[in-house]
Structure 1
Amino acid sequence: MSNKLFINRLSSLISFGKRAMIINSDFDLANKMKLFNDNNQYQKSLELFDKYKKNNLELCSNFIITQALKACAQLGDIRRGTTIHNRIESHIKDDTYILSALISFYIKSDDLKNAESLFIASKNISLSMYAALMKGYIKSNQPNKALDLFNKIDSPDQVIIILLFNACALLGTNEALNLVKRASKEIPKSFYSNPRLLTSLLDALIKCGDIKHAELLFGRLRTRTLSMYNAIMNGFNKEKNPSKTLDLFHQMKISGLEPNFITYTCLIKALSLIGDYSVAQSLIGQIPDSVLVDNQIHNALIDMWGKTGCVNRAKEIFKKIHQPDQIGYATMINCYGLNGMGTQAIELYRQISLELTNESVNVSVLNACSHSGLVDQARCIFRNIHMKSERIYTTMIDCLARASCFDEVQQLIDEYERSHSPVAPMYSKYPSNIFNIFDKPMNLLFKFVSIAID
Structure 2
Amino acid sequence: MLKKLLDHRLIFLTSGIKRSVIIPSDFDLCTQMKLLNDKKKFKEALELFDKYKENNNKTLSSYTITQALKASARIRDLQRGSTIHQFISSDMKDNSYILVSLIHLYMQCSEVTRAQSLFDTASEKSLHTYGAMMKGNNYLSIYFLLFFFSSCYLKNHMTNKAIDLFKEIKNPDEVIIIILCNAGAQLGTNEALSLIKKVSSQMPKHFYSNLRLLTSLLDVLMQCGDVKHAQALFDTSTTKILSMYGAMMKGYIKNNMATKAIDLFKEIKDPDEIVINLLFTACAELGTSEALNLTKIVSSQMPKHFYSNLRLLTSLLDALIQCGNVTHAEALFNRSIKKISPLYGVMMKGYNTNNMANKSIDLFNEIENPDDVNFIMLFNACAQLGTHEALNLIKKVLSQIPKHFYSNFHLLTSQLDALIKCGDFSTAEILLSKMKKSVISYGNLMSGYLKTDNPEKVLDLFDRMKNDNIEPDFIIYLCLIKALSHIGDYSLSQLTVQQIPNSFLLNDRIQNTLIDMWVSSN
TM-score (normalizing by structure 1): 0.73
Alpha carbons 1:169, 1:208 under 8 Å: kept: yes
Name the CA distance, whole Å, in 2 between partners of 1:304 and 1:225: 25
Q: Residues 408 and 288 of structure 1: is their aligned pair in 2 closer, same or farther, counting only changes over 3 Å?
A: farther
Count of paired positions: 415
1:409-424 pair list within 5 angstroms: 410=458, 413-414=461-462, 417=465, 420-424=468-472
- 2:501 match: 446
Q: Percent identity?
A: 31
**Cα offsets for 1:388-413 (capped at 9, x unmatched):** 56486368469759979794993695
Alpha carbons 2:459, 2:480 under 8 Å: kept: no
Which deviates more from structure 2 when the two are superposed, residues 121-130 or residues 376-385?
Answer: 376-385
3-state SS in 2 of match to 1:304: helix
Name the CA distance, whole Å, in 2 between partners of 1:350 and 1:416: 38
Name the CA distance, whole Å, in 2 between partners of 1:290 and 1:376: 40
Name the CA distance, whole Å, in 2 between partners of 1:409 and 1:332: 37
2:300 is equivalent to residue 285 of structure 1: yes
- Among candidates 326, 333, 343, match of residue 311 of structure 1: 326
- Among candidates 433, 436, 441, match of residue 393 of structure 1: 441
The residue type equivalent to 2:78 in the other structure is I
How many angstroms does 1:232 deviate by? 1.5
Unpaired runs of 5+ residues, structure 2, are 1-24, 128-141, 391-416, 486-492, 506-522
Name the CA distance, whole Å, in 1 between partners of 2:463 and 2:337: 39
**Cα offsets for 1:315-336 (capped at 9, x unmatched):** 34455476653x5554333312
1:35-434 pair list within 5 angstroms: 35-36=38-39, 40=40, 42-43=42-43, 58=59, 60=61, 62=63, 65-124=65-124, 125=127, 126-252=142-268, 254=269, 256=270, 259-260=272-273, 262-275=274-287, 276=289, 277-319=292-334, 320=336, 324-325=340-341, 327-345=342-360, 356=371, 360-361=376-377, 364-365=380-381, 368=384, 379-380=421-422, 383=425, 387-388=431-432, 390=438, 393=441, 396=444, 407=455, 410=458, 413-414=461-462, 417=465, 420-424=468-472, 427-428=474-475
Alpha carbons 1:137, 1:145 under 8 Å: kept: yes
Alpha carbons 2:221, 2:230 under 8 Å: kept: yes
How many angstroms does 1:177 deviate by? 0.8
How many angstroms does 1:282 deviate by? 0.8
How many angstroms does 1:107 deviate by? 0.6
How many angstroms does 1:112 deviate by? 1.3
Which deviates more from structure 2 when the two are superposed, residues 43-52 or residues 135-144?
Answer: 43-52
- Pick 1 or 2: higher relative contact order, CA cutoff 8 A, min separation 6: 1
Alpha carbons 2:182, 2:220 under 8 Å: kept: yes
**Cα offsets for 1:324-372 (capped at 9, x unmatched):** 53x55543333123223244445556777897466733663367459xx
3-state SS in 1 of match to 2:327: helix
- 1:3 match: none
Q: Residues 415 and 188 of structure 1: is their aligned pair in 2 closer, same or farther, counting only changes over 3 Å?
A: same
Measured on the aligned residues, the alpha-carbon RMSD in Å equals 4.4
Name the CA distance, whole Å, in 1 between partners of 2:35 and 2:52: 12
How many angstroms does 1:158 deviate by? 3.3
Name the CA distance, whole Å, in 2 between partners of 1:181 and 1:436: 50
TM-score (normalizing by structure 2): 0.65
Which deviates more from structure 2 when the two are superposed, residues 44-53 or residues 165-174?
Answer: 44-53
